[in-house]
Each structure stands twice: as C-alpha cells, then as structure tokens.
Amino acid sequence: MPLALITGASRGIGAATARTLAGTHSLLLGGRDLPALQALAEELPDARPWPVELTDPTALAAATSGLSTVDVLVHSAGVARVGPLTAAPADLWRGIYEINVVAVAELTRLLLPALRAAKGHVVLVNSGAGRSANPGWGPYAASKFALRAYADVLRGEEESAGIRVTSVYPGRTDTDMQRTVRADEGGEYQPERYLRPESVAEAIRAAIAATPDAHPTELDLRSRPVR
C-alpha cells in the first residue's frame, strides 16, 4: 500500500485524517504524544507511531533517513495563540513560526527525494487565517500566510517532478486547538458551529484520491448549518 506520513496525528484533524486514510495507506503517525499515537496505531491497520520532535533538525534528519518513498505527506501539526500584537514578544513569534512554517519546510525538504520517487502528494493544513488576517491573530495569521507562500513555491518547483501540492483552508474546526483559541479570545466554545475534523479529513482524502490528470491546488472549507 502507498505510504502516508501525517504530522499532528495524535488528535484533531491529523488523527481524523489517519482514520480516513486507513485501509488505503500504510500510515506513519507523527506527533509528540507517544501514548496517543500508540493508541491510534492499535486502532488502525498498518499504522505505526512516528514520534519525532519537528523542531529538532538532527532528530528529523535521523527519522526521515530510512524513508525511500513517501506517497503522501500531510502537514497537520500546528500551534495557535491569539492576542494583541502588544502581547506578542519575539519568542512567541519564533515559536509559532518554528512549528507552522520552519518545521514544515525542513521536513518536506528532507523527504523530497522520497516524494519525487513516488510522484507523491503534499497536503498542507492551513487556515482561514491564511486567507484573511484579523485583529488579535497577528503571529498565527502571518505564519499561515507564509505557509501559503511556501506551498505556492513548492508547487511551482516540484510539479515537473510529478509532486502535487494541496493547501487546505479550514474554517474554525472542533479541536483541542480551537478550545485553546476560544479560551484566549474569552469566548464561548460552540462546537456545533464549527467544522468537524472528520469533514476536513474527508476533503484531504478527496484531494489525495484525485485522478492523476488533476492537481487540486487549494481547498477552502467553511462550516454551515446542518438541517
């Protein structure tokens, strides 16, 4: 079966994506929470944990060195903090960029030979904040705008090698990250108003399953009332 590596697979959109691709792909489940990754791996066929610190270049290089072909790389790991720019010191900016941008770029760079060998597919889970930046979302939105630019460049550089690159822009999604965001905003958490992680995962699956003549470059997802 084709191999899919999913970062942020311990929960949220990453875990939902792993469940959606199970049965059609062998899975490497990336994340920091080893017990959660192990529990998910036991639930799914042909899945194993891939507990790697994405911000550690040495660990990342070691973990990717044995991968000769990778058919699908889903970048779902990410961090978000909201608040005014006056409350965003340099360390906060650096921390968000390290996970949301730098780790994505480095992991992809290390896996490019394996992705080229498979004519693989890179999926980047972006955000509505990567389309429009609102007050209080400075560092996070900036990182997602940077991720959007990175995807555009990667797509342009690697399409001739047969690699497809898809950016997915979900609106607010019912995840642990969203709970943290709403707490930072001081707002009520209303999961019924948000996308389900499974809905985002299904869009990712559809992009990956697109016929070879099609290159799904961008997917925008917004929640809507279910009647």
**Which positions are catalytic?**
140
Could you give the 3-state DSSP secondary structure of residue 52? Answer: coil
Look up residue 157 and give its two tokens.
């550089």
CB-count burial class (<10 Å; 0-12, 13-18, 19+) for 79: middle
Look up residue 112 and give its two tokens.
């490019």
Which of the 8 DSSP states describes residue 192? Answer: G
Single out the residue of 147, 150, 204 nearest to residue 173, CA to CA: 204
List CB contacts of 35: < 8 A, sequence separation 6 or more: none
